[in-house]
Amino acid sequence: MSRATYHHGALREELITASIALIESDGIGAVSLRRVAREAGVSPGAPYHHFEDRAALLNAVAARGYAALLEEARAAHAAAGSPVEAIGAMVETYVRFSRAHPAYAQLMYRPELSEPAKDPATEALAQAAIQLLTETVLACQASGGAPAGDPAPLVTMIWSICAGLAMLSVDGPLEQMTAARGSTIPELTGQVSALLQVMLVGSAA
């Protein structure tokens, strides 16, 4: 698509897509408005019509990631047979999504770069994922599948497992560890998910 044929919204999406490609090929450090403009084939000033600075561009990438992750997490939740199984499914979803979309993952777990708090829409998407997990924990507690009481510690623990496994898989250490033991990341994630479900039910007994 040439510069002359870009529509207003199309250029914005093209800049986001170019940013994702840059992050996946060269890392977050490679992303600048000038570099992204060059990758998209537009003038250096064109991105400023859509993004005031680099953080705003990275924020837009993160927002797309939050929306995509939330969609997959909701689907996994809906397909689960019980609230406890839904928690296990969400752990596996976080890792699978992050491995499939490393550019999104690197920004979603590094808010100092994308500054989602500055954009109400992005912040709402980020919080929606936590809210889904919170609602699932509450359902587990109500069904006797998790210890009763304040859900916040349990939500924090499960979220930490999701984010920790996701970033370890994206950054490489988990790949090395699983390879050394003749396993794979999906296999290990499934084992962690199963263990977490057993621990939740057992601690509620």
Q: In terms of domains, do 34 and 61 share one?
A: no
Q: Which pLDDT does position 160 carry in this prediction?
A: 94
Q: Which domain holds residue 43?
A: 1-51
Q: Token pair 């954009």 is at which residue?
A: 119
Mean per-residue pLDDT, 79-92: 95
Q: Which pLDDT does position 3 carry in this prediction?
A: 47
Q: In terms of domains, do 36 and 5 share one?
A: yes
Q: Is the pLDDT of residue 115 over 80?
A: no
pLDDT in tens, 22-37: 998 998 888 999 999 9
The alpha carbons of the chain give a radius of gyration, in whole angstroms, of: 19
Mean per-residue pLDDT, 69-96: 95
Number of domains in the chain: 2
Q: In terms of domains, do 92 and 172 share one?
A: yes
Q: In terms of domains, do 4 and 86 share one?
A: no
CATH of the domain at 152: 1.10.357.10
Residues 142-173: b if buried by 16+ CB within 10 A, e if exposed: eeebbbeeebeebbeebbebbbebbbbbbeee
Q: Which pLDDT does position 9 carry in this prediction?
A: 57
Q: In terms of domains, do 107 and 10 share one?
A: no
DSSP code for 181: T
* Banded model confidence at residue 204, pLDDT cuts 50, 70, 90: confident
Q: Is the pLDDT of residue 78 over 80?
A: yes
- How many Å apart are CA 20 and CA 104, to the nearest integer? 8
Torsion over CA: 46, 50, 54, 57 (sign): negative
* Banded model confidence at residue 184, pLDDT cuts 50, 70, 90: very high
CATH of the domain at 32: 1.10.10
Q: In terms of domains, do 108 and 175 share one?
A: yes
